[in-house]
Amino acid sequence: MGYIWVFLIVVSVIVGIANGRLVEVTQAIGDSAKLAVEISISLIGVMAFWLGIVKLAEKSGIVKLISKLVKPITDFLFPEIPAGHSALGNIAMNVTANALGVTNAATPIGIKAMEEMQTLNPQKDTATNPMCTFLAINTAGFQLIPASVIAVLVASGSTNPTEIIAPTILVTLFGTIVAIIAVKILQNFFPMNKTEEKDA
């Protein structure tokens, strides 16, 4: 990713020189850096608020309750994982954290889920079907409360930052459904993992 940013900066400078607008390019760089700092600082309060809400939800058992509600779905989506395996609990917690918009909290749980699934993997250098399914769900990123987006909108001065909630739910829901369908169809073209799991 760093190489891409360097490439874009170099191209911008070259184009600016070629068009005789290097001053504007330099000014834009400074303005963008200033705006980035301002948005980052303004995000602290909103993110702290949402993280605090989720922490309260964790302490009160709401997150565990949601995880239990999600568990039948995870059991259905990951039939290769044995019932009661710790990977299923981590997957449910990860999906719940992502749905609440706390992606920073979801990341370590997601890594733990992958580590747990890797213990069931007979071919360590190849991702299993459950791993691919989990990755597809995470990439689609279903969200009930887009906390990060709301924080950016607040920082940008939006008068109604919560209006993004309904469209976000619809878009991420359809995206997640499509991702699951795609991964389930594609895994039929790679039956090796299923065979190996049965042999194991």
* Residue-wise pLDDT tens digits, 74-95: 888 888 888 778 788 788 888 8
Residue 122 · residue 199 · CB < 8 Å: yes
Q: What is the DSSP letter of 188?
A: G
CA angle 14, 4, 103 (to 5 degrees): 140
- pLDDT, tens digit, 9 for 90 and up, residues 22-42: 788 788 878 888 877 877 776
How many CA atoms lie less than 13 Å away from 88 in the CB half-sphere? 18
Residue 94 · residue 114 · CB < 8 Å: no
Domain segments of the chain as ranges: 61-199
- pLDDT, tens digit, 9 for 90 and up, residues 135-163: 999 888 888 877 777 777 877 778 888 88
Rounded-to-integer distance, Cα 47 and Cα 39, Å: 12
pTM over 0.85: no
pLDDT of residue 199: 45
Angle, to 10 degrees, between the axis of helix 62-77 and the axis of helix 86-99? 120
pLDDT of residue 20: 81
Q: Is the dihedral of CA 191, 197, 198, 200 positive or negative?
A: positive
User: Which residue matches tokens 């997150």?
Assistant: 63
Which amino acid is it at 36?
Answer: A
